Amino acid sequence: MTDKLFIGCHLSSVKGFEHMGREALSIGANTLQFFTRNPRGGRAKDIDPEDAERFLALARENGFGKLVAHAPYTLNPCSATEKVRAFAYTAMEDDLKRMEFIPGNYYNFHPGSHVGQGTEKGIELITELLNRVMRPEQTTTVLLETMAGKGSEIGGRFEELRAIIDGVELDEKLGVCLDTCHVSDAGYDIAGDLDGVLEEFDKVIGLSRLRALHINDSLNPLGAHKDRHARIGEGTLGLEAIVRVISHPQLAGLPCILETPNDLDGYGREIKLLRESRQDRL
């Protein structure tokens, strides 16, 4: 018996949901990730409810797994600047409302960079934001992404994610998205000791919190704290290690999202390669 693999990649949402869904199908994907708004700016386009409906029907018919929305990179709940924190609040509150057009999916964000205020203060500001924007009636699960620990980034240590979760009241609507490139850059040896990393994750955060995977190879070695993604098999993790991740029984059923430097055809080739390699392994 083999569990179904949900694999897809990051796609552009500028042409709407249905277009994204068709693009995903054209490359053999059965999940996908998209930015909720311009990743570097603020403005969000209005969602067309009929477009969302057509997409949901298509996803249902084709057995898609959970979808992952990604917050803009400019969203920093623990900035030292009031204006930046205010944008984080407005954008996330609006994004969570928009997510209800595709109910029951995931909204992933980078916890943020404390920019010199210290990890403790950063964690405090992040939990504050989440307690302000999360609603009991929301159907979306908010995901904290594991980070590379670059600069003053929060989320490079599992303990930091644990501390955020501990501070959030509606924590049953909070999960984690594990990025293979980021955790390796953060110093967790996911290529050499996957079971050890999952054990550590389980001990500190709890594996039931793990809801999605970002599948990326890394240009940099273990513990480099850099965050530069590589194509699958062209980085320091290697194809074998990535296939171990997507075949691991404890990770079965999670949406696997590629964020490798690729165009659509490149993603199609990676999805095919990963499906075949996983099949060979099982």
Residue 18 or 146: the one with the smaller Cβ distance to Fe ion is 146
Query: Does 185 contact Zn ion by CB under 5 A?
Result: no
Whole-number Å distance between alpha carbons of 239 and 13: 28
Q: Which of 173, 209, 214, 231 binds Fe ion (CB under 5 A)?
A: 214
Question: Percentages helix, strand, coil for the chain, rounded to the nearest 5?
Answer: 45, 15, 45
Whole-number Å distance between alpha carbons of 174 and 241: 28
Residues 216-275 within binding reach of Fe ion (CB under 5 A): none
Residues 101-160 within binding reach of Fe ion (CB under 5 A): 145
Q: How far is the CB of 259 from Fe ion (least distance, A)?
A: 5
Residue 160 or 227: the one with the smaller Cβ distance to Zn ion is 227
Point out the residue whose Cβ comes nearest to Zn ion: 227
Closest CA to 44 of 53, 54, 34: 34
Q: Which of 18, 95, 179, 227 binds Fe ion (CB under 5 A)?
A: 179
Query: Does 227 contact Zn ion by CB under 5 A?
Result: yes
* Binding at 217: pick from Fe ion, Zn ion, none (beta carbon under 5-8 Å per type): none
Give 260's DSSP letter.
S
H or E stretch covering 153: strand 153-154
Contact 231, 262 (CB under 8 A): yes
Site residues for Fe ion per CB under 5 A? 145, 179, 214
Site residues for Zn ion per CB under 5 A? 227
